[in-house]
Structure formats: C-alpha cells, structure tokens
Structure 1
C-alpha cells in the first residue's frame, strides 16, 4: 500500500492532430508537470513534421526549453496516424477521419505496450486524450489506466453532443422522417418529417437554442448521418460518458448552466483558459511572421486582426468580398491567410492588385503568433472564424469580435459571443457575404460609437471573470487543484487494487 501511494502520476497525453487541439494540450501538459506529474506527450508524426517545416528543420523535442526552464518531467514522442507525411489530410478529411476511427487506436495501444515493456519509472497510470477519440475507454480498460477526457471547446458544445439522444428523440436531429424517406416504397408528407426547426428548449443546462446555432455536424439530414464525421461523433460522445474525469477548457462563470448539467452526470472540471501568454513550446504549423514593426506607432485600438484559424477553408469568392470590404472600410488590418486557406491546390486566391491597393492600410501574412499580435495595444478588434481558442484569447485581451463561423462548433460559439455574452457582432446576416456588409460591420466594430462601446464594455466584464478564474483562489485554479487531488486518489485506488501479484503496465507488485 505505501509503495502504491508513493507512486508519481505518469500520464500519456494525446491531443487530436489539429493545431487548435494541440495548443491547449501542450499548456495542460506543462501545468500538470508543474504539479508533479510525469507527462509523456504524443504528437502525430504529421503534426511534428509540420512544426519542423515551419521552423526550417527538425523541431526535435518541442518541450526542451520548457523542461529546462521549469525542471519539468515531460517526455516527448511521435507516432504515425496511419497515413504518409505527404497525404493531404485537409483535402481528404473524410479518409483521414476514417483512419482516426479505425487505425489510430492500434498505434496508441502499441505505444503504451512499448513504454510498459521499457519499464519507465514511474509506470504509466493515466491517459489524457482528446474527447474526439472514440477508443479511450477501451485502451484504459486494457492497460488499467485512469481515463481523463480533455474537451477543448465550450461546455455548451459538449453538453449538446452529450445529449444527442434527446435531439434525436425530439426530432431535431436524425429525424425518423428522414430515415423513412430513404425507403422508396414509402410515400410520406415531407413537410411533417424533416428535422424540426423550432427552438430547442429541453436540453439540460441549455435555456434555448435555435437549430441553426447547433454545430454543423448536427444540422445534417439523416441521409448524411452515415458519414465518417457522424460515426466519430456518435462513438466519441458515448465513450466520454465512461471517462473517470472530464477536463473542460472553459471558465465556470462563463458557462455555469451547461457545466452544472454535465457535472450532475460525472466529474467535470472547468479549468480554462488553458493557454500561456509566453509559451516556449513551438506549435505553429506555418512559419510565423513578426508583425511588431508594422504595428509600431499605429494608434491604440486602430488595427483589426483577421484570422480564420488553422483548418477550415474559405472559398475564393468569399476571400474576394472580404478583401474588397476591408479596402472600402478604410480600417487598418493584419490579415492572416495561411497558404491552404482556399485549398492546398489553390495558391493564388487574393484579388489581383489587392496587396498593392492595401499597402499602408493592411498587412497580409501567412501566419503569426496570435497572442503576441492581439495583445498589442494597437489592435482593437478581431474578425474571427469563432474558434474557441481565438475567442478565449480575445476575451483575455479585451477585444470585441466580428464573427464569421465556418463549420463545426464555430456556429455554436458564435451564439455565445453574439447572442449570450454580447461581445461581438456578425460579419454578415445573410448566407451570401458582400463587400458592403463587410465594410459596414468593420466600421461598426472599429469606429467608436454606441455599438462598439457596448461591445467593449461587455468584453471587459468577461475579461475580469476569465482573469479572476486563474488566480490562486479563482474557480479554474480551484477546479484544477481538485482534479489533481482526485486523479491522484483514483490512481492510488487502481494501484492498490493491483498490488496482489498483478502486473500493472510492466511493473510487478
């Protein structure tokens, strides 16, 4: 018993291989290591290759600087995701997701077995994996590990996925009518059988939400629910209910109702925002430009920062309308346009002559250190795809948002920003974006007026909540400390249950 209690927790951490998931996982790894955990952090070979390419060479151990500065026990390794490095995961995302569904777990299983055979000290006792993985409970049961699910999006989104069964039974998703229509022998009244379009007001912890504000994966017809994306979601959100603990990258004060509903089901800890303003761990998948000199001497709050994240695509026509709208607005801007924003096979997507016309007004870069830019006093607003990391970082920096969600959770995140918290406005109200809309809404956000002032006041209130949460007595820090204590107890329990001649991860008791 005493030997078991003295064991240092050793967690394997596996983020989902997208930059928006890797970044909070990196910071969680550092935070856990600073609280006495040994961490084995696993990136896919593809993600590591992209980070290395962005740095013009092999990135090596990405935690080396963090480890030496903080004397942290973090081990770094890479693992194949089942596809060659040259495979375009973005253009072939369905095929890629299929590999994540069926192949990747075998590589994780092999890695854990390899570490066990190696006899690492301390032995692996815990798995912290992204919630979108569908195999976590299976791996944890096989290797007798504490199962921790890390959710990198808002609690509202987790809550809606968690209650997909309610959406189905109430006809708001995957309605029976859609299923029946697929049988040619049945003639049915289509108007009675489509997914319901009225407000959803029966999900625990969700006051009311319009179907158009559901995540894009929950707005598909039943014809589409055999897709890989749906199968992953269905399996992942059954699997998360078997986790010992769920960590959420959010703040209790921002989403109290959704968190309370989830916490009534299982141990869920809001520990956000999980990021650092001074990270020494490389995570960028593209080479970063230094925007400091361009921002120098710009008036305070005068620059609009624009980024559509690291994964979603925007069509060429949308890029053109936004570009022309920016020029019309006259606002200064920094626009992050990664090389594959339209597609890896579409290198020229900006309107002819745009960069010349924007000279002096705007700067276009393929990537940058976002926190470094948006924390600069010259930046006064953020045109965003509504990725959750970007929203949290904007609130931290006190920036109002201009919202242009593209897919997935971004549609639901927009609801939080615009409708619930009132810290942002929509870039366009219609499905089709126009340069005139862009120009008008950029001016509304960036030019001092009643709307802009209200948004800035509201975001300052949220900023105080978020910064208070990570103080020594704040909700996120308190929740994190409770989690650390609880997971240590759970590990001890598992170890004690295996002391009678049972081999745990290669270690004989």
Structure 2
C-alpha cells in the first residue's frame, strides 16, 4: 500500500514581511510533492484582493494559477477577531492583542474541521514562529496519537532567533528586562561572539516588558522550544557559528534565501498594496545612478525624520525611487512629504505608494538602497548586488543592521538611534552613490551574493537542508 503524501498546514503571520517568504516556502514544498493547506487571515485576504484589483473577495484564490501547474495547494481563511474595516496599522496594539488572545480559537476551530474531513490527512503544522499557539493546538488535535507536529518557520536571521531563544539568559545577566539594562557587550550567548546592547532588537532594549508585543514574544518562544523542527530563511555560511550553536538545541534547517522562482514577480499575489510600474522610468536612467528608498511594509517613520530624509535626498541631487506607503507616518497623514519636495525633485525622482521590489532592485539603474533593514529587503538587495544605507526603525532591524554594516560590511548606517539629520543624509547619500565608501560596499557585496547563490545550488547548504527536511516530513 502506497504511503500517503505529506500534508502540511502552512500559515504566515499576518504582516507583509512574513507573508511573502511563507507563500514561497509553500510553493517550494508543493513543488516537491507535499500537499499544502495555506491559511490566511480574512483581513490579509481582503487586502491582497484589493491590491490585486480582483473583482470578488469571496471567490478569489491566490493559488489558483499554481494549481493549474499541478501543485496541490488548498486555500482557507480565518478571522483574526477584528472587523475587516478595522485599521490595523493605526491601532497596532489592539491588532496585536487580538492576534495574542483571539486568533488561536478561530485557527483551532478551522483545524479541527480540516483534520476531520480533509484528504490526505494533515501530517504537520508549519507556521510562523511568532504565533503563540502552534505547539499547544498541535498537541490538542488528535490526528494521530502524537497530535500534529509543529514546525516553526523563522523568517528572520538565525542571530535574532537565538537572541530571543536565550531571553532568560539575557535577563539573568542584566542585559534585558531590568530597571536599568547593562550597557557592556554581550559575549555569553551560544554562537554569538559579541553583540552590543544597542544592536539588540528594539523589544530586547526595552526596560518595560509588559507590552502586548512582549507578551507575544515570550509565549511564541515558549512554543518554539516545543517545536519539532525550526526552518530558517537564512544561509548557514552567512551565520556559521550561530547556526552551529542552534543545531545543538534542536533540528535547525537554514533553507534561505526564499525567493519567488527565478527572482521575478510572484505568480501568487502577496502584496497588501497596489503596485506601481517603475521600470519604464528606471530604464531612462544611467546604470547605478538611482537610489531606491523604502521603509518596508510595517514600521512607521516619524514626521520629523521623514522630512529630514526628504530634505537630504533633495540636497544630494541624486536620482531616486521612493516607496512611501500610505500609512508610513500614520493612517491619519497620507501625504507626509514636505511642501515643494515633488516639484523640486521632478525629473530625477519619483514617489510611489508600493512597487514590486524584486523587479526594481534587479534593474541595472539601481545603485543603492536606503532601507529600514527588514530581512526580506536585505536578502533581495544582496541577491541583486545592491549595497545598503541603513536606517532601522523597529524590532529586528537594529540587529539586521549589525549584520549588514559590522559583520558583512555591505552597507553604511545613516543617522543614529532612529534619529537623522538633513546634512548627514545628503552627505552620506552622495558619498555612497558616487564615492569610495559606496565602491567598497559594492566590492564586499559581490562575495556575500555568491554565498547566497551557492547555497541554493544542487549541492549547496540550503538545498541539502531543504532536501533533508522533505525526507523528515515524508517519514
């Protein structure tokens, strides 16, 4: 009797930066013969449909085209506990509270229905590490005597995973959750030779750890310690000592970089905002002459900092594409640029609400990337050989900047502690795009890019790890 094919329930955290790699992980698994049931929140589904310009929310299935190619991917949605019209960006804490306390009940109800009715039987849960329920729900649902194994998908670097994993050690040593956190270098985390407190994720720099996000982080990593396997969107050779130390804790597979096939526009709609076509404009510019600016899909920029950056860009006289999503300052302020900016920069710069980032970074006109240091953006920038100016805003971005600037030397910091000044922006941008510091970063990034490319070759480390993971879930 033939063994049934593995069937994984896959669910991304309901934020843009988590959705993109999770969708492409699901496609990679399906291409290897794994049946996938993909779950989005109803709010993410609704926003994706609107961004794609589809006519009907209820009947829209983002994986329809993938199924036509023979991939077995089913699609479900579940409520996050809030109305579709609720502004999750403007009311961040209420949104996170619902993710913490309400979402799990809706997920459990859906999973119980699927386990009772779906074929082939579900064999594992592959969900974002930041969820607070996967191990608990997996153990409760009796698909087999052992329940559903929880496989934790970590969308950020291994360095950040291990810092969260060892929060108790940081606390014991006075570097976290103390009235006055220590300021000396941290040298006792396994696999991390040294890191400065200011390079920790923003939530680990806080002295008050009672926020809803801290509650999510604490519960999520309690769950992660009960996971059977950790999948990580990184490359072993980029973080060798950290990955080696984590492998001693539990099966830890580095399978990155996780990109759409061919590093082109995704066949599955993943964008939460309508995308503008920038390519025709880019094709009118000289190679390496355009600075791409984007602060990602989630974090907010203060009005003051945004105006300082805008003035600096204006004074630098460089060509630029600037992605300013509608809520980058606040949903209440959709037009945050200083008066006269668009008129002053007309011809050498364009401002769009959103774009297909892989297409823009792949264009030969792009010579640098002013980024918030989200992990997807870093991997995409490295893949395209585009060095970075780093202006982190929140959470993992401060630690990601350490990797880019201090460890790999493929970028430069701009500003300090989430503060920036016009003159600094203008001089840094000009030097980066036209001077020696930019040249050095472009030289270094070629070597880091080769590490990414080698990892996904047939005998590369990430491909071997992915092959082993397929064997694990098949058995």
Deviation at 1:487, TM superposition (A): 1.8
Q: CA RMSD in A?
A: 1.1
8 A Cα contact 1:12 1:127, kept in partner: yes
The corresponding residue for 1:215 is 201
Q: Is the counterpart of residue 159 in structure 1 residue 162 in structure 2?
A: yes
The corresponding residue for 1:469 is 455
8 A Cα contact 1:63 1:74, kept in partner: yes
- The superposition leaves residues 235-264 of structure 1 with CA deviations (integer Å, 9 ceiling, x where unpaired) of 111110110110000001101111111110
Output the CA distance in 1 between the equivalents of 2:419 and 2:226.
42
After the TM superposition, which residues 15-414 of structure 1 pair with which residues of structure 2 at under 5 Å, given as runs? 15-57=12-54, 58=56, 60-68=60-68, 70-117=69-116, 119-143=117-141, 144-175=147-178, 178=179, 194-221=180-207, 224-276=208-260, 277-278=263-264, 279-414=266-401
The corresponding residue for 2:144 is none
Q: Residue 125 of structure 2 aligns to a residue in which SS?
A: strand
Please give the TM-score of this superposition, normalised by the length of structure 1.
0.90
8 A Cα contact 2:51 2:272, kept in partner: yes
- The superposition leaves residues 267-312 of structure 1 with CA deviations (integer Å, 9 ceiling, x where unpaired) of 0000000111132111111110001110113111110000000011
The corresponding residue for 2:467 is 481
8 A Cα contact 1:146 1:487, kept in partner: no
Please give the TM-score of this superposition, normalised by the length of structure 2.
0.96
Mark the structure with the bigger radius of gyration.
Answer: 1
Deviation at 1:353, TM superposition (A): 1.4
8 A Cα contact 1:399 1:456, kept in partner: yes
Deviation at 1:86, TM superposition (A): 1.1
Deviation at 1:430, TM superposition (A): 6.1
8 A Cα contact 2:393 2:418, kept in partner: no
Q: Residue 236 of structure 2 aligns to a residue in which SS?
A: coil
Q: Residue 238 of structure 2 aligns to a residue in which SS?
A: coil
Deviation at 1:116, TM superposition (A): 2.4
What residue ranges of structure 1 are gaps of 5+ in the alignment?
A: 179-193, 490-509
Q: Residue 368 of structure 1 aligns to a residue in which SS?
A: coil
Output the CA distance in 2 between the equivalents of 1:255 and 1:145.
30
Output the CA distance in 2 between the equivalents of 1:252 and 1:53.
38
Alignment size in residue pairs? 464
Q: Residue 41 of structure 1 aligns to a residue in which SS?
A: strand
**Among residues 432, 439, 444, which one is paired with 1:453 in the alignment?**
439
- The superposition leaves residues 356-386 of structure 1 with CA deviations (integer Å, 9 ceiling, x where unpaired) of 1110110100000000001000111100000
8 A Cα contact 1:50 1:286, kept in partner: yes
Q: Is the counterpart of residue 14 in structure 1 residue 11 in structure 2?
A: yes
Deviation at 1:431, TM superposition (A): 5.1
Output the CA distance in 2 between the equivalents of 1:340 and 1:103.
25
- The superposition leaves residues 321-354 of structure 1 with CA deviations (integer Å, 9 ceiling, x where unpaired) of 1111111111100000001111111122111111
Output the CA distance in 1 between the equivalents of 2:186 and 2:170.
8
8 A Cα contact 2:367 2:433, kept in partner: yes
